[in-house]
A = this chain, B = another copy of it.
Amino acid sequence: MKEILSKDNKLIKYISKLQTSAKFRREEGCFIAEGLRVCVEAALSNAKVLSVLVTDNALQRHSEELKPLLDCAEEVYLTSEKAMSAACDTKSPQGVICVIKTLDNIIDLDTINNKYILLENVQDPSNLGTILRTADALGINGVIMTSDCCDVYSPKVCRGAMGALYRVPFMIIDNAPSFIKEFNLKGKSFAAVVKDAYSVTDADFSSNVLVAVGNEGNGLTKETIEACTSKITIKMCNNAESLNASIAASILMWEMIK
């Protein structure tokens, strides 16, 4: 096994740049997974793992769990604790990090009776990670994100998604209204809004369905709401103005698949 001892190693610097720059991730066509579970899930989900860096400590403690990851990776480096810290985004790294080729979980829109969620300008990576994790757990057929959402390959999204990133089909689109108008030819689209709409419990989610959820502070744009077949809302009490975006999206996905 090759070794990386210094935090000034070229690969460590390359990984740090991939951690912090969405632009660099796009240019290179790869992203970083960090932590035992998220890394091993990549291997189990047949993601293309380019490099694995592992500390001696992690190797000793998790040799059995790490096996599929080390087997599938193109290259493996035994890495010093200091170099690992320099590469990692978290404060207490678990001693495993890998470089993965960006994914190809293509959404097949030409099927029937599928359930999709569309996210417009969702900014918080924790929200996006949680939504992907929930979409995966509930069996949503695809997550469609506008290009002004936070980067799906950012370290926080990756960690929050807990491996769902490798499994859930997703796509990035430029323009939500025009995508939705095209979708309406083969299904129904619902705009999630906070008021003046039918309760989600009254919506008919049979057949092909897309639900659009908007930005944390401002919700969906007017154009996207107008492009949808109908508007739905999660009825709230008290003075609550809104739910957290990941909670709202999760309740909507739950209603879609139930």
Contact = CB atoms under 8 A, between A and B. Distances in A.
A198 B136 CA distance: 21
Nearest to A247: B250
A244 B130 contact: yes
A199 B57 CA distance: 41
Contacts of A241: 162
Interface stretch (A20-28, A78-86, A231-239): A231-239
Given A138-B236, A167-B238, A238-B167, A243 B133 contact: yes
Given A138-B237, A167-B239, A244-B246, 12 more contacts: A41-B239, A44-B239, A126-B126, A136-B238, A136-B240, A137-B234, A137-B237, A137-B243, A139-B238, A163-B239, A250-B250, A254-B254
Interface string A155-174: 00000101110010000000
Identify the 6 closest CB pairs spanning chains A and B, nearest first.
A137-B240, A139-B237, A137-B236, A247-B250, A251-B254, A130-B244
A39 to B, nearest CB: 15
A247 B135 CA distance: 11
| Oligomer copy total | 2
A236 B134 CA distance: 9
Interface of A: 41, 44-45, 126, 130, 133-134, 136-139, 160, 162-164, 167, 201, 234, 236-244, 246-247, 250-251, 254, 258
Nearest to A129: B244
Contacts of A239: 41, 44-45, 163, 167
A240 B237 CA distance: 32
Contacts of A243: 133-134, 137, 250
B247 A130 contact: yes
Contacts of A41: 239
A237 B164 CA distance: 11
Nearest to A251: B254
Nearest to A237: B139
Contacts of A167: 238-239
A130 B238 CA distance: 16
Contacts of A244: 130, 133-134, 160, 246
25 contacts: A41-B239, A44-B239, A45-B239, A126-B126, A130-B244, A133-B240, A133-B244, A133-B247, A134-B244, A134-B247, A136-B237, A137-B234, A137-B238, A137-B243, A138-B236, A138-B237, A139-B238, A163-B239, A167-B238, A234-B254, A247-B247, A247-B250, A250-B251, A251-B251, A251-B254
